[in-house]
Amino acid sequence: MATKSTSRPIGGLIWLGAFTLVAVVILVSLGNWQMRRLAYKTKLASDVVHRLGEAPSLLPPRDLWPAMDPEVVDYSRVKLTGHYVFDREFHVFTSLTEPKGREGGFGWWVFTPFIESDGTEVIVNRGFVPDRFKDPTTRQAGQLTGELELTGLLRRPEGSNSFTPANDLTRNRWFTRDPVAMAIQLGLPRDRILPFYIDADASMTPPGGLPQAGETIIDFSNNHLGYALTWYGLAIAAAGVYAAYAFKRLIT
């Protein structure tokens, strides 16, 4: 009888131990993944800070555009010489909660085609306007004519998810910063489309203050260390609970 009563708890503990081991392995793996994400985000932020400190450079030649790596060029400072095409503005909805300039709240990013001196056409985010200034006729002072030198940051396209509304092309209401889609709307062939847009820097804010440039949001949320510690803590807790339970079963 003693043998039977002892074998029963041991057998149960083996199965429970196997289940606990699997859970611990999964939890530790999740913690390790978060640590890899932490290292990636830390390096990304460091690289961006380095790019922001560099002098602006010219855009690469068009034949190099397809090979441009977003991870390498995002937030790079660039300069261009050319002119805007104001009759083809695109308006992207936004909520500017922490403006660097005087305007904020609900409004629009003003995306405008910019033609360089050599004929290269790119899409520029000129900056933010409140909803009441969405119509270009309400901010005529900001429609700079003639050739100018533009400086800004090269930015990767903005993705969408299941909660992002569809762009309303009829009313010119966009919800994603997608320079490729905008260029297609302009009738540009795909082999001439720069798959990035340019965020104009604060120096490009025109007379009248609108569009309000220099509002690029540079914020890399990096909570991965906290997540990693949570997963590791759960792994330790699971192992501890099992050890306490097994000890209690074996001595009683």
Q: CA separation (Å) from 205 to 19, 53, 147, 153, 199?
A: 61, 20, 16, 14, 11
14-29 average pLDDT score: 94
Question: How big is the CA angle at 129 (ends 147 and 99), to the nearest 5 degrees?
Answer: 110
The pLDDT-based confidence of 1 (bands split at 50, 70, 90) is very low
pLDDT (0 to 100) of residue 175? 96
pLDDT confidence bin for 220, thresholds 50/70/90? confident
pLDDT digits (tens, 9 = 90+) for 108-155: 999 999 999 888 899 999 999 999 999 999 998 888 888 999 999 999
Q: Quote the pLDDT of residue 8.
A: 58
pLDDT at 248: 85
Q: Are 109 and 94 in contact (CB under 8 A)?
A: yes
